């Protein structure tokens, strides 16, 4: 590490938890409690980056599946499909199914 870098040794618990030293939390602008993400670079270095917005979470579940082997997108699509079917059964229209009164009746509504 260069002269402007700092190093700290921290313990990792049996549950895989480690405390980010206050000095680094302050530099990263991470409040406690807060969240950071670990990023491995192409050369094998591991970097810690702060989570500052929802978009920082993009990709955190990439490649992850549930117990049935479905990705998050597949689970979401199935859920949306079920919701649309439930709405149709209850006689409600989903946003994609809504049409104007003229289209439903074939003419003007009187």
Neighbours of 74 (CB within 10 A): 13
Question: Does 97 score more than 90 pLDDT?
Answer: no
Token digits of residue 13:
């618990």
Number of domains in the chain: 2
Q: Is residue 14 part of a domain?
A: no
- Give pTM, 2 decimals: 0.43
Rg (CA), the chain: 25
Instruction: Residue 34: give the domain boundaries.
Output: 22-52
Phi, psi dihedral angles at 37 (to 5 degrees): -125, 145
Q: Is residue 10 part of a domain?
A: no
Q: Is residue 57 part of a domain?
A: no
Question: Does 101 score more than 80 pLDDT?
Answer: no
Residue with tokens 């003419």: 107
Q: Is residue 39 part of a domain?
A: yes
Q: Is residue 33 part of a domain?
A: yes
Question: Does 7 score more than 80 pLDDT?
Answer: yes
Let me know whether 47 and 68 are in one domain: no
């Amino acid at each position: 590490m260069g002269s402007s870098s700092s190093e700290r040794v921290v313990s990792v618990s049996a549950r895989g938890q480690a405390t980010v030293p206050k000095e680094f939390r302050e530099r990263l602008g991470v409040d406690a409690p807060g969240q950071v993400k670990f990023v491995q670079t192409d050369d094998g270095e591991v970097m810690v980056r702060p989570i500052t917005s929802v978009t920082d979470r993009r990709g955190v579940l990439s490649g992850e599946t549930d117990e049935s082997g479905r990705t998050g997108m597949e689970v979401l699509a199935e859920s949306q499909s079920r919701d649309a079917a439930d709405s149709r059964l209850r006689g409600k229209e989903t946003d994609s199914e809504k049409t104007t009164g003229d289209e439903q009746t074939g003419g003007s509504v009187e």
